Structure formats: C-alpha cells, structure tokens
Amino acid sequence: MNILVTGGAGFIGSHTCVELLRRGYSVIVIDNYSNSSPAALTAVCDISGADIVSWRADLRDERTLDDLFTRHEVEAVIHFAARKHVRESTKIPLDYYGNNLACTLALADAMMRHRVRKLVFSGSCSIYGGRYRDPIAEDRAAEPTNPYARSKLMCEQILADACNRWPELSVISLRYFNPAGAHLSGKLGEDPKGAPSNVLPYMMQVALGKLELFQVYGSDWNTPDGTAVRDYIHVMDVAEAHCVAMEHLDDKTGMRAFNLGTGNGVSVLELLTAFQRIAGLSIPYEIIGRQPGDVDSLIADPSLIEKEWGWRAGKDLAAMCDDAWRFSRRHPHGYEKGTVLSPSAAGRSDNFKYEQGGFLCVSR
C-alpha cells in the first residue's frame, strides 16, 4: 500500500515513516524542508533498511502534486505538513493561516482529483485552549487561544465539510498532546532549526552547553507548582498510533477525531527534574513571564481511542527523556553537516539518488 506522508522529514513525520516501513507499507514523502532536514530520511532508511521516495516540494504546488499522485498511485495520506510553533504564530499569524490552511486545501483538492479517499490528519490538542483543568475528551468545546491552534481547528472543519460533500471520504484527526523523545537507536530525533520551541529540545541544548539558561515561561499558572502542565507522549507512540489509524480508515467514512496522550499531566519543573535525573546533570534555569498564546494546562482523556481500537500509549516520561538525550548526545549540532539539501547536490550523495521532482532514498 502506497502511503503519502506530507512533512515526512519532520520530527513526527520521520518517526511515523519508520513505523510505516516496519509494518510493510511503501512510503512517499513530500516536504519542502523549511523546518526539517533530508538527513532525517537518511536516518529513516538506515533504521528501516527500506527505500523512501521523497519529493522536495511545497504542497501548494498543484502541478507537482498532480505529478506525484499520478506517478505513485497513492492509496492513503498522512498529513503532517504545517507550521507548528504557538508563540511564533502570534507574531506572524497571516503566515500561519496562509500556510496551514492552503496546504490542507491543496492536498484535499489533489486527493479528490485523483480519487484518494483516505486521510489521517495531524491534529492538535491546542484547539481545546486553556479552559479545562481536568483531562479533556474529544467532545469538549474547542476554544483555541492562538493562530496556530485556530488554523488546526479550521483544517479539521475544512476536512469535515469535505466529508459531507464526498460521503466516501474517510478522515481521522489525531489530536496529539505533547510529543517528545526520539527513536531508540539514537539515529532519529528532534532537530529544530533555530531556537527550539519545544521544551525538551530546549533543555537538551542547555545540557549540551549550547544555551546558557533554560527559561520557564511563567510560575503563576493555576497549577500545583505554578508552571504550565502538559501531557507528554513519546513520539514513537504517536507514530504507532498513526499506523493504527491507517488500519481503521476502512471502519467507516466521514470525519472522526481521537486524542493521543497518556492522561498524565507533567509540569515544566517536573519535566526538568525528570530530565536532570536521567542525564545526571544540573540544568540552570530562570523563570520569566508568560508568553502569548500559552495556556496553563492541557491533559488528554485518551479513553476513546482505547475503547474503539484497543490502543494506548506505552512509553513513560523516563523513556522520553532517555531517548531524547541519547539522540542529542549523538547529534549535538543536529544532523550531520554535508547532508543533501537541494536536487543539484543529490547526485553527489551516497544516500540519495535524484528522481525528477524529488529524491529517492537508497540507504541500505
């Protein structure tokens, strides 16, 4: 089965590619590498011992999308491609709406033209906003507090309307909470471009001496220790859940949404303590003011996906910290330099062979 993974070189996308390949799927990636690296796909191929066809392109490029769908006979899509930083979205909101909505619309249009009727969408817990203190179920009202979250909710609404228009369409939105960790091998992990926006990579950079202090955004939240509480879920659990969702696209048509989380809330200071224990280090930190768009608590009620599919997250916070730290120690400056970054460079690499419109990964 040919699966198109948009944003497949990103943090969650690349880990999902590993799991898809492990399960025997054929994977086609489309990514513009605006916040990712082709080196992640080299790592995916190395871990899985399988090939990936990867197209370097923007999802809004209609001609390229048509070419891709025609050449590869795509049977289902997992859609990760999006801008994803909450605080950044408050500074450049139009960019976030322009990218996230346009990419989803262009992809949906291409799927309809090429009669592809199965989609797993990368949803977000951020759509629930900061109203809820207890674990959040899927039927709670959405109250997003920032442009990123609103763009994710709008994309779900677009896809729900598409399902109403095309009753044969099956869409599953996986609203994951806070993915963290890395692949157990240490070869694949989170490699943000620029300053990290996610809390665990931020801690890693301080631990490695690349940043002087870890900043905690606010100590006056309505939480037990005053710092923001999140539900952290291992990225490989998130990857596995996307593959399980692929197996359930045929259960019924229409739009469905499921939370991905553990049901356990962890504060920033609790996470800092857990990582320091795993790494055997003391991380210097300072508490500064709250940041625009942030909320105090987001904890999943993950019971629906367990009830419907018998699936639940299996890895704990210690595994997330341990795996992320292993990757960071192995890649203190991110993925190795010298990676293929453009089609013209692809012919000079042992890890990629250029194919019109993209790359063919041949690392085995």
Active site residue ranges: 148
Q: Which residues contact 14 (CB under 8 A, 6 or more apart)?
A: 8, 36, 40, 41, 43, 44, 188
Distance CA 32, CA 297 (A): 33
For 332, the token pair is 């203190």
Kindly state the helix (H) or strand (E) to which residue 353 belongs, with its residue range: strand 352-355
The number of beta carbons lying within 10 Å of the beta carbon of residue 73 is 12
By C-alpha distance, which of 125, 155, 20 is closest to 77? 20
By C-alpha distance, which of 363, 362, 352 is closest to 33? 352
Q: Report residue 267 CA to chain centroid gap.
A: 21
Distance CA 71, CA 205 (A): 42
Bridge partners (DSSP) of residue 108 are none
Can you tell me whether residue 249 is helix, strand or coil? Answer: coil
For 41, the token pair is 């796909």
